[in-house]
Amino acid sequence: MDGFLAADIGGTHIRVAAYPTDAIKPILHKRIATRGENTPTERLIDLLVEVSGSLDHVLGIGADVPGYIDPRIGLIYTAPNIPGWRNLPLQAILHERFRVPVALGNDANMAAYGEWEFGAGRGHQDIIYMTISTGIGGGVISDNKLVLGHHGLATEMGHVTVWPEGPMCSCGHRGHLEALASGTAIARWVSEQLALNSPSILSSSPKPTARDISQAAEKGDALAQEALGRAGKFIGQALANYLHIFNSSIIILGGGVSHSGPYLMDPLRSALERNVISPAYLDGLQIKIAELGDDAGLLGSLALIRSQST
């Protein structure tokens, strides 16, 4: 059978799957650690070779990369979690090795693409996708096209200022959404409150995670509920700004924190309603949780390489 290879490259694991030309159920799917005795690039190539054995002919390769990347020229500027990946012409390297079309994308962009093609965004022409986990990332489909920008660096949704005097972000700037509403930021805020002796069922756990906080909120813990509400408010505020720019018909929320339920979602919706400059932005607007889970990036990479091979 002929088909495509898709790779999902993360800081911990590299996953590669082989797909037929017209379905999204993989023929073969394998996962290895990103770090090992050889370089991540060699490990990726070895895994692609191994999984390609399940296909008669490889028609193309799609891959998502966790970092700053220009997909048009296939160049990775930096990928902080992948050792040695700086100014790496990965597209050229893979093309040289496999002699088939290769398409690359930023991981959050590819997740947006996957949700658009196969998940919660099917049928929409204008999509805002935001993933909220350790960090905050995203992707935008505008008029049926993935927004890339001049160097492919567009829609870094976590790195917008929502509180100029706020806490420092992982990028070194202050008051970004990621520093206030990511899973890491939620956990940090709760730890700070616990250090001030705020009463909470979490006070017995030394370092509560965003998941612990979400579970505590469900059990009625006021501090945990406040933490999620605070994050939801900042996310809603940022989403109102994005709606003003893109006027999308659907907002798709992915990542672990998106499953925090009403304690996050109700303040998010209220902040969105409060901050839009016209109720017309909300008319028919859908807000949905992402459907593809961990496979969004893999399926987005598949959709991208298929779209470029037809």
Residues that bind Zn ion (CB under 5 A): 159, 169, 171, 173, 176
Task: Report the nearest approach of Zn ion to the CB of residue 177 (Å).
Answer: 8
Between residues 29 and 173, which has the closer beta carbon with respect to Zn ion?
A: 173
- For Zn ion, the closer of residues 242 and 281 by Cβ is 242
Nearer to Zn ion, 149 or 261 (CB): 149
Closest distance to Zn ion from the beta carbon of 109 (Å): 17
- Beta-carbon contacts of 188 under 8 Å, excluding residues fewer than 6 positions away, are 167
CB of 134 to Zn ion, least distance (A): 13
What is the enclosing helix (H) or strand (E) of 60?
strand 57-65
Question: Could you tell me the smallest distance in angstroms from the CB atom of residue 173 to Zn ion?
Answer: 5
Cβ closer to Zn ion: 171 or 245? Answer: 171
The secondary structure element, H or E, covering residue 115 is: helix 107-118
Output helix, strand, coil percentages for the chain, rounded to the nearest 5: 40, 25, 35
Q: What's the Rg (C-alpha) of the chain?
A: 20
Shortest gap between Cβ of 287 and Zn ion (angstroms)?
A: 24
Strand order in the sheet with 86-88: 68-70, 75-78, 86-88
Nearest distance, CB of residue 186 and Zn ion, angstroms: 16
Strands of the sheet containing 127-132, edge to edge, are: 145-146, 136-142, 127-132, 250-254, 286-289
- For Zn ion, the closer CB: 104 or 180: 180
Residue nearest to Zn ion (CB): 169
- The three-class DSSP label of residue 151 is coil
Angle, helices 222-246/183-195, rounded to nearest 10 degrees: 140
Cβ proximity to Zn ion: between 169 and 299 the closer is 169
**How many CA atoms lie within 13 Å of 106's alpha carbon, on the beta-carbon side?**
28
Closest approach, Cβ 79 to Zn ion, in A, equals: 17
11 versus 167: smaller Cβ distance to Zn ion: 167
Could you give the CA distance from residue 46 to residue 142 in angstroms, rounded to a whole number? 36
d(CA 285, CA 247): 9
